């Protein structure tokens, strides 16, 4: 390791190099050699010291040996077929565990493949660290054409919450600690950690190396809300005639489940869960207003957002969804927003009572101000919500009992709904357009953090990465409901699922295409429409190719049998469910976001 002493810049490193005889030269003078450590081992020790036990990645220069050594050191290393899927796995592991999910990649192309997932983690407020090996700085910076040359740090910066590079072995402890703190503290996000190839073989004195590591203390410090902000929020909520609580995935992430439930129940306020907050309280809870969403949003007068942003998923808090006269006008609601980010309030409409702090502390503080004399919402409001809910639930029940051939999204998802009800600990992964929207509204969730999906970007491709991570970090059964297009983005990871023998049951809602499978090429030419796939594709054979179970089903009864067997056996299973190819709508529920051509 000739570089170590000369390249070391920090005083401690210089001292270390002088104090510790090298192993190689030690014996000549009769002095006992001092044990050394190196970059590889320091990275592993730093991660382990901080409770990281799983790494998602894909080997190659310069991190191949790191993946081996991580495994030797007792960490779980899950090796993927494409870095993007490893990255999505890391991001959702972060959401599920409150520990940063680690994705490990090679330089340039591997790094870029992981980068989408890093940006996704930042966008969704999930703690994740993308660790990429990188090429020689001297060559990269002079653009001399190194193997996989790229200035990765610069490219990662705008997409990450923070980005760091470590050049010297003795700085690995600081680098890993900073990455963990940045990922977890405040609003969680994606962090990039650049580890150049030359770092790994750098040797330093073992004791000095050990001493340089940092066990991060209180990585996500509680942020206690100010008492006057708590009072303002409570006063506003108390004044409401038609209050509503909206729970977002920040509330699910916070793991303050019991207090959130107490807040909802003690106030008696109807609540709406955002997609990944479903199950925070059971969707069957009497105060759940999901089935009356389009009624409560425009009608509510005071809305308390808990870990949910007023972004596109909530129509920016304005427009017709909120009772505004036109697309841009505000609906007149007053808002309380509970969020850890002090900059979130007023991002779209006025927030009358921002409550800044971590959700656990904020909800506790709110609860402290709610006693038995807290006025329940007026019964006119709660019964109006209940009436609307009843009507919509009855309408839905009618649709669900229909048994058309080929299967509709609804008749297939009625089965998934029953299976999830019978297996409330199973984690549901969901992506697609119609396959997403129908599942979200039909399949009830019963426990917190059991539904993971396309998130803030409506991203396709999270599917198999999420399946692997959810099974690996929780040990629970995973059920994935996948559009056939959505599945294609990560389908090769069925091999990963089989290789690690994970209890994953994938159900493909196969309607032969993106949104629908019945479009034709308008020119009459021989190429198919850009929106359709090979008809009646046999996706289940992909699972069989790797030793898993593949099942082709065309009826709800067959689907039920296949899902029950998958869950009983815990074997990797792919069920190809044939759905009416004309059953979907363009972009599912968000058709209106498609720009319309002016020229006819």
Nearest-approach distance from CB 360 to ligand ADP, in angstroms: 7
Residue 246 or 578: the one with the smaller Cβ distance to Mg ion is 578
Query: What six digits make up the tokens of 412?
Result: 């297939």
Does 432 interact with ligand TZD (rule: CB under 6 A)? yes
Half-sphere exposure for 545 (CA within 13 Å, toward CB) = 11
- Residue 168 touches which of Mg ion, ligand TZD, ligand ADP, none (CB < 5 to 8 A by kind)? none
Contact 208, 347 (CB under 8 A): no
435 binds ligand TZD (CB under 6 A): yes
Q: Which residue has the tokens 């207090």?
A: 259
532 binds ligand TZD (CB under 6 A): no
Classify 524 in phi/psi space as left (phi over 0), alpha (psi -120 to 50) or beta: left
Residue with tokens 């929780």: 474
Q: Which does 20 bind (CB under 5 to 8 A by kind): ligand TZD, ligand ADP, Mg ion, none?
A: none
Residue 436 beta carbon to ligand TZD: minimum distance, rounded to whole angstroms: 7
Task: Tell me the residue number closest to ligand TZD, measured at CB.
Answer: 483
User: How many DSSP H helices and E strands does the chain contain?
Assistant: 24, 19
Which region, judged by CB under 5 A, interacts with Mg ion, from 108-116, 119-127, 444-452, 485-493? 485-493
Residues of the shown chain interacting with ligand ADP in the complex, contacts defined by CB under 6 A: 124-125, 187-188, 248-250, 253-254, 274, 276-277, 307-309, 311, 313, 339-341, 344, 358-359, 456
For ligand TZD, how many residues bind (rule: CB under 6 A)?
18
φ and ψ at residue 261, rounded to 5 degrees: -65, -40
Which 395-424 residues touch ligand TZD, going by CB under 6 A?
Answer: none
Does 483 help bind Mg ion (rule: CB under 5 A)?
yes
**Any idea of the CA torsion for 240, 245, 250, 252, to the nearest 10 degrees?**
140
**Parallel/antiparallel/unpaired status of strands 190-196 and 128-134:** parallel
Find the length of the chain.
600
Applying CB under 6 A, does 584 fall inside the site for ligand TZD? yes
In the complex with ligand TZD, which residue's Cβ is closer, 302 or 407?
A: 407
Q: Which residues contact 382 (CB under 8 A, 6 or more apart)?
A: 268, 270, 376
CB of 337 to ligand ADP, least distance (A): 9
What is the C-alpha separation between 466 and 506, in angstroms, rounded?
A: 12
Check binding of 514 to ligand TZD (CB under 6 A): yes
**Euclidean distance between CA atoms 125 and 137, whole angstroms:** 31
The answer to whether residue 484 forms part of the interface with Mg ion (CB under 5 A) is: yes
Measured distance CA(82)–CA(339) in Å, rounded: 34
**Cα separation, 385 vs 389, whole angstroms:** 6
Out of 16, 410, 511, 576, the residue judged to bind Mg ion by CB under 5 A: 511
Question: Residue 110, interface with ligand TZD (CB under 6 A)?
Answer: no
* 361 vs 511, beta carbon nearer Mg ion: 511
Give yes or no for residue 317 binding ligand TZD (CB under 6 A). no
For residue 193, give both structure tokens.
């950690």
- Residue 299 interacts, among Mg ion, ligand TZD, ligand ADP, none and using kind-specific CB cut-offs from 5 to 8 Å, with none
Shortest Å, Cβ 220 to ligand ADP: 7
Among 264, 460, 553, 575, binds ligand TZD (CB under 6 A): 460
Enumerate the H helices of 431-534 as residue ranges: 434-442, 463-474, 484-488, 494-499
85 touches Mg ion (CB under 5 A) = no
Q: Work out what residue 359 binds among ligand TZD, Mg ion, ligand ADP, none; the CB cut-off runs from 5 to 8 Å by kind.
A: ligand ADP
- Least distance between Mg ion and beta carbon 471 (Å): 24
The half-sphere exposure of 387 on its side-chain side, counting CA atoms within 13 A, is: 7
| Contacting range for Mg ion; rule: CB under 5 A; set: 190-198, 497-505, 506-514, 559-567 | 506-514
Coil/strand/helix, residue 526: coil
Helix (H, G, I), strand (E, B) or coil at 44: helix
Q: Binding to Mg ion by residue 39, rule CB under 5 A? A: no
Task: Tell whether residue 465 is a contact of Mg ion (CB under 5 A).
Answer: no
Quote the least distance from Cβ 511 to ligand TZD, whole Å: 5
Residues 493-512 that bind ligand TZD (CB under 6 A): 509, 511
Q: How far is the CB of 116 from ligand TZD (least distance, A)?
A: 8
* 147: CB partners within 8 A, 6+ apart: 61, 107, 135
The answer to the question of residue 484 lying near ligand TZD (CB under 6 A) is yes
State yes or no: residue 91 binds ligand TZD (CB under 6 A). Answer: no
Nearer to ligand ADP, 358 or 482 (CB): 358
Q: How far is the CB of 481 from ligand ADP (least distance, A)?
A: 19
> Peptide bond before 393: cis, by omega within 30 degrees of 0?
no
Residue 588 interacts, among ligand ADP, ligand TZD, Mg ion, none and using kind-specific CB cut-offs from 5 to 8 Å, with: ligand TZD
Which of 578, 577, 595 is CA-nearest to residue 586?
A: 595
Burial of 171 (0-12, 13-18, 19+ CB in 10 A): buried
Q: Which stretch binds ligand TZD (CB under 6 A): 51-59, 230-238, 391-399, 478-486?
A: 478-486
User: Please, what is the minimum distance in Å from the beta carbon of residue 561 to ligand TZD?
Assistant: 23
In the list ligand ADP, ligand TZD, Mg ion, none, the entry touching 358 (Cβ below 5 to 8 angstroms by class) is ligand ADP
Among 56, 126, 446, 515, binds ligand TZD (CB under 6 A): 515
Interaction of residue 548 with ligand TZD, rule CB under 6 A: no
Residue 175 binds which entry of ligand TZD, Mg ion, ligand ADP, none, CB below 5-8 Å type-dependent = none
Pairing of strands 162-165, 190-196: parallel
Nearby residues of 127 by Cβ (< 8 Å), 6 or more positions away: 94, 95, 98, 99, 100, 101, 121, 183, 184, 188, 189, 190, 191
- Kindly give, in sequence order, each residue whose CB lies less than 8 Å from that of residue 588, ignoring residues fewer than 6 positions away: 432, 433, 434, 436, 437, 438, 515
Q: Which residues lie near Mg ion (CB under 5 A)?
A: 483-485, 511
Q: Which residues lie near ligand TZD (CB under 6 A)?
A: 432-435, 458-461, 483-486, 509, 511, 514-515, 584, 588
């Amino acid at each position: 390791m000739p570089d170590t002493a000369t390249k070391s810049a920090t005083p401690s490193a210089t001292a270390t190099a002088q104090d510790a005889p090298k192993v190689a030269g030690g014996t000549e003078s009769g002095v006992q050699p001092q044990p050394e450590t190196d970059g590889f081992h320091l990275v592993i020790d730093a991660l382990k010291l901080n409770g990281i036990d799983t790494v998602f990645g894909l080997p190659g220069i310069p991190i191949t040996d790191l993946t081996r050594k991580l495994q030797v050191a007792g960490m779980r290393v899950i090796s993927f077929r494409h870095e993007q899927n490893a990255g999505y796995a890391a991001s959702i592991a972060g959401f599920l565990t409150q520990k940063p999910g680690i994705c490990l990649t090679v330089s340039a192309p591997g790094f870029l493949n992981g980068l989408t997932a890093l940006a996704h983690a930042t966008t969704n407020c999930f703690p994740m660290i993308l660790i990429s090996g990188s090429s020689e700085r001297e060559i990269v910076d002079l653009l001399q054409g190194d193997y996989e040359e790229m200035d990765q740090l610069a490219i990662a910066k705008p997409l990450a919450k923070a980005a760091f590079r470590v050049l010297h072995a003795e700085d690995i402890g600081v680098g890993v600690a900073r990455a963990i703190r940045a990922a977890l503290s405040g609003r969680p996000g994606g962090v990039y950690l650049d580890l150049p190839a030359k770092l790994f073989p750098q040797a330093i004195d073992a004791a000095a190396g050990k001493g340089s590591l940092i066990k991060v203390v209180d990585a996500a410090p509680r942020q206690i809300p100010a008492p006057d902000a708590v009072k303002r929020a409570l006063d506003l909520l108390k004044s409401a005639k038609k209050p509503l609580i909206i729970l977002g995935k920040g509330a699910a992430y916070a793991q303050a489940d019991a207090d959130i439930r107490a807040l909802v129940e003690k106030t008696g306020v109807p609540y709406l869960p955002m997609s990944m907050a479903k199950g925070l309280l059971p969707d069957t809870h009497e105060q759940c207003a999901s089935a009356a969403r389009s009624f409560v949003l425009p009608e509510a007068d005071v809305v308390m957002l808990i870990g949910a942003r007023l972004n596109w998923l909530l129509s920016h808090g304005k427009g017709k969804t909120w009772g505004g006269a036109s697309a841009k006008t505000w609906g007149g609601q007053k808002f309380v927003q509970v969020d850890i980010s002090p900059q979130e309030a007023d991002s779209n409409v006025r927030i009358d009572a921002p409550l800044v702090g971590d959700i656990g502390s904020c909800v506790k503080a709110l609860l402290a101000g709610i006693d038995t004399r807290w006025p329940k919402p007026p019964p006119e409001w709660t019964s109006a919500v209940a009436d609307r809910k009843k009507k919509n639930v009855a309408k839905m029940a009618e649709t669900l009992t229909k048994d058309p051939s080929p299967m509709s999204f609804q008749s297939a998802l009625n089965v998934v709904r029953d299976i999830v009800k019978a297996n409330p600990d199973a984690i549901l992964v969901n992506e697609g357009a119609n396959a997403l929207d129908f599942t979200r509204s039909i399949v009830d969730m019963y426990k917190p953090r059991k539904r993971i999906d396309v998130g803030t970007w409506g991203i396709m491709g999270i599917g198999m990465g999420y399946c692997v991570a959810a099974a690996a970090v929780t040990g629970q059964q995973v059920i994935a409901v996948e559009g056939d297009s959505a599945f294609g983005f990560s389908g090769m990871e069925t091999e990963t699922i089989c290789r690690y023998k994970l209890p994953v049951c994938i159900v493909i809602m196969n309607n032969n295409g993106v949104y629908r499978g019945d479009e034709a090429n308008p020119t009459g030419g021989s190429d198919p429409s850009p929106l359709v796939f090979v008809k009646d594709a046999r996706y289940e054979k992909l699972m069989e190719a790797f030793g898993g179970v593949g099942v082709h089903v065309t009826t709800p009864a067959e689907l039920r049998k296949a899902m029950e067997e998958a869950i009983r056996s815990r074997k990797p299973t792919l069920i190809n469910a044939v759905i009416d190819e004309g059953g979907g709508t363009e972009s599912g529920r968000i058709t209106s976001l498609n720009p319309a051509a002016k020229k006819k």
